Amino acid sequence: MEDNDLLKVRLEKIAALKAAGVDLYPNDVKPQNTTAQIMAQFGDTDSETLAQLTQKFSIAGRLMAVRSFGKAAFVKIQDRKGQMQCYIAKNILSEQDFFIFKKLDIGDIIYISGKLFRTKTNELTVEVESLRLMAKSIHPLPEKWHGLTDIETRYRQRHLDLISSPAVKEIFYRRSLIIKLMRQFMDTHDFLEVETPMMQPRAGGAVARPFKTHHNALDQELYLRIAPELYLKRLVTGGLERVYEINRNFRNEGISTFHNPEFTMMEFYWSYATYEDLMSFTEELFGFIAKNIFEGLKFTYQGTEIDMTPPWRRLTVKDALLQIAGMDPADLTDSTKAIAFARKAGCDAKETDPLGKILMAIFDEVVEKKLVQPTFVTQYPVAVSPLSRRSNTDPEFVDRFELYISGREIANAFSELNDPADQRDRFVQQLKEREAGDDEAHEMDEDYIRALEYGMPPTAGEGIGIDRLIMLFTDSASIRDVILFPLLRTKQE
């Protein structure tokens, strides 16, 4: 299924260019300027001053528009930072260069050089003195005005999306900036950036289904990691004390506007800190990013103003269930009552489930979407937190929080469980749930317990979903809009 006629025309042009001795894919010219740099430097310079300039400028990029008058033309060249208008005139170019210009198509990569001037309408423009074809394009680009709107094509052929939509390009520039800012913030606070295994013999550190793979030489099953947690805490035990990792996690679960099977997470561990320290730290980190991007702590996400001014709301899971879900205090301690409430709220709950799990199912169904402004939900049931430290005030709950913004979980953090005996008990409990049919329950990890037995300092750790954070800071409705190549089903012909 090829665009036959359009392709044929371009192939004829290629033949004509070749016959005239034109190299279609040279690599011997380097542009000395970018469109953005010229604009920044001469955007305010008047015509008279420009006319005095003897300096030549050269830019390269994709030909995006041609307005031709026969013997002259205005064209737009787009490079990584923007677009610039250029003026082509037959009496300025060499005969060969003008011949090449006439054979160009929108979408070709070209190089031009010349002097700057202002047009009648005062637009800063390069008067082209010489021109090179740098790479021939044989497929037509999306329409110039509407651009590319077909969502499937946008994700499958992201190059077309990036070429035709400056707003998309802007999102990925901002994504890079946000991650840079996070690194800067962590480095400033004396955290060490590390990399831990993506392929693990046991997929631990979170509650999720893993992807499975196989190493041939070792003849061993391996899992793509669902979290780096257990490795990062080994490093804390090893004395690194403050570590962070920004990298991909893989979870073999459904795809939605908030879930991609591979997603980016920043996880960090901070010795001698508690989950309460992490709340303040998170407020500072998010504030640091927001101030750099928005020059303030308030911004709009999908039509709703989000205010990141600290301190953020803090409430316990229990209080959230009482105040927001409208549960009765008796429902929180009685499994039968909790199950009845859960069923009424429309979530499944099995009689065999521990109470804590049932409560969290109600939380996810009823409370989550109502937490629009930044909110730390604290004190999770121990049953759903196999790696968190028990609370000193109530051992059935743990010193943990999840951060919700715009009704979505953005971060998960807790004071780490560093008592190896308790950790073993938790793993044993998880094994029981696995045997009861919960294939997401955590596996036993003897190596990890052994590491804890050497003594891990009291530590707090946090994971922040980078893609979701970037959605928030780019006002994106879908996680696919902040991931360059989101997973799609392979198309079969």
Partner RNA sequence: GGGCCGUUAGCUCAGCGGUAGAGCAGCGGACUUUUAAUCCGUUGGCCGCGGGUUCAAUCCCCGCACGGCCCA
**Positions that interact with RNA (CB under 7 A):** 1, 3-6, 9, 13, 65-72, 74, 85, 87, 89-91, 105-106, 117, 119-121, 123, 125, 139-153, 155, 254, 256-257, 346-348, 365, 477-478, 480, 486, 488-489, 491-492
Q: What sign does the dihedral 63-69-70-71 (CA atoms) show?
A: negative
Of 106 and 192, CB closest to RNA: 106
Helices (H) and strands (E) in the chain, counts: 15, 18
Least separation in angstroms between residue 88's CB and RNA is 9
* Structure token pair of residue 387: 């790696």
C-alpha distances in Å from residue 81, one per residue of 44, 140, 395, 443: 18, 22, 55, 48
Closest separation between CB of residue 286 and RNA, Å?
24
Q: Which is nearer to RNA, 6 or 53 (CB)?
A: 6
Whose tokens are 């970037």? That residue is 470
Residue 375: strand, helix, or coil: strand
Cβ at position 404, least distance to RNA in Å: 16
Minimum CB–partner distance for residue 10 and RNA (Å)? 8
Nearer to RNA, 404 or 414 (CB): 404
Structure-token pair, residue 322:
């009482």
Least separation, in Å, of the C-beta of 123 and RNA? Answer: 4
CB-side neighbour CA atoms (13 Å) of 408: 20
Rg (CA), the chain: 29
CA distance 101 to 22: 12
CB of 403 to RNA, least distance (A): 20
CB of 311 to RNA, least distance (A): 30
* Closer to RNA by Cβ: residue 147 or 287: 147
**What token pair was written down for 173?**
């520039």
Q: E-assigned strands of 302-453? A: 304-307, 313-316, 375-381, 397-405, 408-415
Place of tokens 């320290």: 277
**CB nearer to RNA: pick between 288 and 301:** 301
Q: Which two structure tokens, joined as six digits, stand for 284?
A: 């500072």
Residue whose CB is less far from RNA, 170 or 348:
348
- Rounded to 5 degrees, what are φ and ψ at 79? -115, -170
Here the tokens at position 1 are 């299924």
> Residue 329 burial (CB < 10 Å; 0-12/13-18/19+)?
exposed
Minimum CB distance to RNA smaller for 322 or for 345: 345
Least distance from RNA to the Cβ atom of residue 163, Å: 12
Task: Give the nearest distance from C-beta 252 to RNA in angstroms.
Answer: 13
Give the nearer residue to RNA in terms of CB position, either 257 or 323.
257
Q: In terms of DSSP H, where are the helices of 91-228?
A: 95-103, 151-156, 158-164, 166-188
Nearest to RNA of 15, 72 (CB atom) = 72
Contact 191, 156 (CB under 8 A): no
Q: Which is nearer to RNA, 74 or 299 (CB)?
A: 74
Q: Indicate the SS3 state at residue 379.
A: strand
Cβ 86 to RNA, closest distance in Å? 10
